């Protein structure tokens, strides 16, 4: 069974254990009336399921599951291992984490298990074994949800020992580790495996207020190890479930661009990717789109939108309400970029504790059924619309000829580097170039270094700080075979172990780019430099300026600023390599410069420009074996009119063809279906 075989899941987290049992049925009636058809249960219930080490009590969960079945709710069943019970931490302190300041945690919080604790692994296995045996054939079960929002780091003695074992599995011997980390620096040479400790503020961070390690190669490996260690725990729980249930999809909810885990590696072990979308009141629509595309891209497959809020989120600096229509728009934006479920955190708003001001389908006002809030009515409307969408839509995929590369090791490495700029923000750098494509009104996919690029005509790799020989050869082959490639400042700087490529930046990419750089100049905030396009207007650069020496590359733009000692040096180049072209951007261009660059890329790749540019309306596509679906999304709070991108399509929401000019209300949506 797959999630495509059942109606689109519309629901989310329900925590009835936080409420008196006599309120549950009223909740389910209200949810059913809002067209909710799915509940995520048991996310944080370990302390109720197992009050002590030898006692298991599933009576409350049995009642909840039975009631959900009576109201024909499908179930996403969590394993509840995302938060530790108090008795466990008291009896086995090693299950809790030690932070980067060396402080070992007591009981409290959540997402707090040490990934290397043998006691955690034993106790989690025992719990999940019982859960899987009891509920694997429960009516309505459609997905298993392991733990919750994996992330964070641990620096305890168990992790230190496990890190040494990880290193022994990844390196031939200790000499290879010393060579990879250049550990002769500052007398860091290791002569015994036991001398290696996790890089933390008590050991190898440069000062207590910084996240900058002395040996960045060691810190990179520790990041890889921690991601692998948490993934091993996910795989452990998955194996327990698979022993009794060979078919139900298994997931865990990811968090888009969070730094801790390499999601491209995690996606290989997940049956379906799911993630939690929480844009702030001022998050650009392009950034939300990029994060959806990244969650699609880590597996190149439709994903579950596991969480969003129907109204406001309590943990942001300002708990802004979603405006009328905005929740609906964000839900359809997720669907447009590959979501096959629309789910919320949460179904019923908590009465106390830290999440009491986080929004819900049943708010404090809605509780008990005496009133129906605006948000509840909007959820109800959305649920009715989603139920009427064709099943074929969920079988469709996102198809794009332009890919933007996201690389977690480069993310870790460039932000661990001491220099070149305190403004370095890897996610925002990637977003800058994603938005360049988004603003041109073109479909885009997110890929990793290990992804299949064969369907791409254009590959954009911003700030690809780490460029090992394997990926450099892959890029060269992509361009040689006709691909169009673009990379930027701070790319190709180091190998997989953070050792700088010698002989000129960007190291292993110099051949395909046809240039070398002797240095980069970091500009202070709010400082710009003039950049003259060879066949266009003067634009501006900022952030970093590479001093480029062409070696076969054609100069497309130069610095034009008399205050610069490198005035006249190239700022943008293109190099013909085999059948393709490789572009290099030496400074962060302004909007006009990026728009010009996008045109250059499309011309080099032989792709047409979009019919219309971004003007407050996002146009995105999904394609099935039989139909194309065009999503027209007004991502603003003002009315917009745009040219109809598919005159032959029928709007699934209104049931009629749309005119040549489509007028969308604030946060308005249209979905055109067109037979291929």
Catalytic-role residue among 149, 237, 287, 378: 149
Write phi, then psi, for 97 (nearest 5 degrees). Answer: -90, 160
Which DSSP string do the residues of 44-100 spell out, in sequence order?
A: T-HHHH-SBTTB---HHHHHHHHHHHHTT-EEEEE--TTS--HHHHHH-GGGB-B-T
Rounded to an integer, what distance in angstroms lies between the CA atom of residue 465 and that of residue 505? 11
User: Which residue in this structure is represented by tokens 């060879």?
Assistant: 534
Contact 77, 45 (CB under 8 A): no
Active site residue 149: yes
Contact 334, 308 (CB under 8 A): yes
Identify the sign of the CA torsion 58, 8, 654, 325. Answer: positive
Rounded to an integer, what distance in angstroms lies between the CA atom of residue 30 and that of residue 259? 38
- The SS3 call for residue 413 is helix
End-to-end CA distance of the chain: 27
- The SS3 call for residue 164 is helix
Which DSSP string do the residues of 302-365 spell out, in sequence order?
A: -EEEEE--SS--TTSSS-PPPPTTHHHHHHHHHHHTTEEEEEES-SB--SSSTTTTS--SB-TT
* The two three-digit tokens of residue 611, written as one number: 């019919």
Bond before 420 cis per omega within 30 degrees: yes
Active site residue 195: no
Catalytic-role residue among 17, 287, 307, 378: 307
Three-state DSSP string of 617-664:
EEEEEEECCCEEEEEEEECCCCCEEEECCCCCCEECCCCCECCCEEEE
Rounded to an integer, what distance in angstroms lies between the CA atom of residue 359 and that of residue 335? 21
Rounded to an integer, what distance in angstroms lies between the CA atom of residue 660 and that of residue 653? 17
User: Which residue in this structure is represented by tokens 């190669």?
Assistant: 217
Identify the H or E element spanning 528. strand 528-533
Contact 400, 632 (CB under 8 A): no
Half-sphere exposure of 324 (CA within 13 A, CB side): 6
Catalytic residues: 149, 307
């Amino acid at each position: 069974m797959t999630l495509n075989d059942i109606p689109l899941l519309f629901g989310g987290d329900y925590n009835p254990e936080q409420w008196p049992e006599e309120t549950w049925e009223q909740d389910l009636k209200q949810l059913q009336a809002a067209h909710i058809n799915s509940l995520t249960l048991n996310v944080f219930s370990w302390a109720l399921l197992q009050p002590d080490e030898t006692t298991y009590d599933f009576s409350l969960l049995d009642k909840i599951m039975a009631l959900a079945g009576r109201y024909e709710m499908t179930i996403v069943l969590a394993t509840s291992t995302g938060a530790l019970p108090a008795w466990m931490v008291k009896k086995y302190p090693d299950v809790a984490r030690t932070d980067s300041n060396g402080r070992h945690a007591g009981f409290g919080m959540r997402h707090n298990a040490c990934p290397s604790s043998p006691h955690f692994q034993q106790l989690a296995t025992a719990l999940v074994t019982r859960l899987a045996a009891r509920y694997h054939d429960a009516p309505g079960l459609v997905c298993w949800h392991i733990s919750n929002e994996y992330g964070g780091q641990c620096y305890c003695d168990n992790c230190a020992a496990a890190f040494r074992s990880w290193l022994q599995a990844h390196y031939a011997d200790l000499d290879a580790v010393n060579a990879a980390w250049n550990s002769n620096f500052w007398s860091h040479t290791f002569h015994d495996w036991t001398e290696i400790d996790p890089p933390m503020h008590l050991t190898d961070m440069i000062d207590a207020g910084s996240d900058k390690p002395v040996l960045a190669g060691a810190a990179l490996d520790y990041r890889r190890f921690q991601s692998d260690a948490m993934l091993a725990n996910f795989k452990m729980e998955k194996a327990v479930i698979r022993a009794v249930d060979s078919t139900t999809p298994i997931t865990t909810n990811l968090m888009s661009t969070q730094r801790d885990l390499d999601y491209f590696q995690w996606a290989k072990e997940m049956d379906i990717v799911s993630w939690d979308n929480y844009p702030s009141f001022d998050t650009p629509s392009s950034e939300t789109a990029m994060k959806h595309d990244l969650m699609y891209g880590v597996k190149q497959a439709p994903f579950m939108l596991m969480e969003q809020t129907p109204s406001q989120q309590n943990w942001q600096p300002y708990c802004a309400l979603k405006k009328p229509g905005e929740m609906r728009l964000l839900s359809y934006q997720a669907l447009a970029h590959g979501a096959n479920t629309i789910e919320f955190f949460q179904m019923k708003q908590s009465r106390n504790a830290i999440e009491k001001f986080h929004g819900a389908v049943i708010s404090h006002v809605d509780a008990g059924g005496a009133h129906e809030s605006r948000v509840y009515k909007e959820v109800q409307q959305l649920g009715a619309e989603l139920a009427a969408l064709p099943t074929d839509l969920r079988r469709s995929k996102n198809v794009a000829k332009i890919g933007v590369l996201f690389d977690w090791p480069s993310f870790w490495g460039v932000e661990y580097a001491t220099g070149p700029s305190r403004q370095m923000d890897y996610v925002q750098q990637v977003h800058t170039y994603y938005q360049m494509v988004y603003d041109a009104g073109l479909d885009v996919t997110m890929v990793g270094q290990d992804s299949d690029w064969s369907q791409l005509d254009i590959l954009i790799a911003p700030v690809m700080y780490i460029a090992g020989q394997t990926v450099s050869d892959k890029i060269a082959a992509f361009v040689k075979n006709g691909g169009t490639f673009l990379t930027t400042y701070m790319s190709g700087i180091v190998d997989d172990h953070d050792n700088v490529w010698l002989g000129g930046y960007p190291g292993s990419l110099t051949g395909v780019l046809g240039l070398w750089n002797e240095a980069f100049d970091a500009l202070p905030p709010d400082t710009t430099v003039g950049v003259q396009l060879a066949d266009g207007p003067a634009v501006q650069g900022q952030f970093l300026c590479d001093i480029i020496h062409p070696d076969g590359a054609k100069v497309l733009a130069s610095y034009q600023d008399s205050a610069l000692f490198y005035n006249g040096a190239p700022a943008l180049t293109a190099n013909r390599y085999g059948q393709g072209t490789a572009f290099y951007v030496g400074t962060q261009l302004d909007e006009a410069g990026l728009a010009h660059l996008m045109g250059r890329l499309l011309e080099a790749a032989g792709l047409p420009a979009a019919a219309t540019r971004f003007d407050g309306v996002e146009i995105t596509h999904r394609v099935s074996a039989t139909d194309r679906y065009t999503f027209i999304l007004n991502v603003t709070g003002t009315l917009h009119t745009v040219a109809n991108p598919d005159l032959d399509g029928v709007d699934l929401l209104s049931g009629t063809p749309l005119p040549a000019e489509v007028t969308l209300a604030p946060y308005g949506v249209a979905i055109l279906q067109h037979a291929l």
